[in-house]
Amino acid sequence: MAITKQAVTILAATNVPAGTSAAAPIAGGSADVRAFAGGEWAYKITNGASAPTIPGTLVLQTSHDGSNWFDYFTVGGSAAASGVASGSVAMSAGVMYARAIAYGNATNAVTVESYLQAKVG
Q: Kindly report, residue by residue over 13-42, the tens digit of the pLDDT.
A: 999 988 899 999 999 999 999 999 999 999
- Phi/psi at 49 (5° precision): -65, -20
**pLDDT score at 49:** 85
**pLDDT score at 120:** 92
pLDDT level of residue 9 (50, 70, 90 thresholds)? very high
* Contact indicator for 60, 118 with CB cutoff of 8 Å: no
**pLDDT score at 119:** 95
pLDDT level of residue 108 (50, 70, 90 thresholds)? confident
**Average predicted confidence (pLDDT) for the chain:** 93
Between the alpha carbon of residue 45 and those of residues 3, 19, 68, the distances in Å are 29, 16, 25
Considering its fold, how many domains does the chain have in total?
Answer: 1
**pLDDT score at 86:** 97
- Domain containing residue 111: CATH number: 2.60.120
pLDDT level of residue 106 (50, 70, 90 thresholds)? confident
34-93 pLDDT, tens digit each: 999 999 999 999 998 888 888 899 999 999 999 999 999 999 999 899 999 999 999 999
* Residue span of the structural domain in which 88 resides: 5-120
Share of the chain above pLDDT 90, in %: 77
